[in-house]
Amino acid sequence: MHEASIAQNILDIAIDTAKQNDAKIIKKVFVKIGKLAAVDINSLLFAFDALKEGTIAENSTLEVEEVLIKGECEECGFINNYDGYFFSCKNCNSLNVKIIEGEELNITEIEVE
């Protein structure tokens, strides 16, 4: 289950960042996850809640923003959102579509006290 290791990573980074900023309590952690990262959000939240016990993030919540898949056609430059794993340009039908968004997994903000 790779959601557990992702949750652990997020937690580690959040705790390190909070400590570097002399924060005592983490309240919220915001993450952006692209649809292509293939992360099951419910599993991630579940793992995060289990792993945060006993840390300064114990009472924090994980706020997940899902990022749609965005592709740019290399033939005609058309940019479109894609839902799923088959990419063909909706303007010219080319299969030469470059993914420009949707693979990311980033912590965007950490709310501390």
The residues binding Zn ion (CB under 5 A) are: 73, 75-76, 78, 89, 91-92, 94
Residue number with CB closer to Zn ion (42 or 91): 91
The C-alpha atoms of residue 17 and residue 3 are separated, in whole angstroms, by 21
Beta strands (DSSP E) in 2-78 are 26-34, 61-67, 69-73
CB 101 to Zn ion: min, Å: 17
Alpha-carbon distances, residue 69 vs 37, 44, 104, 112 (angstroms): 10, 20, 10, 30
CB 89 to Zn ion: min, Å: 3
CB 87 to Zn ion: min, Å: 11
Residue number with CB closer to Zn ion (16 or 75): 75
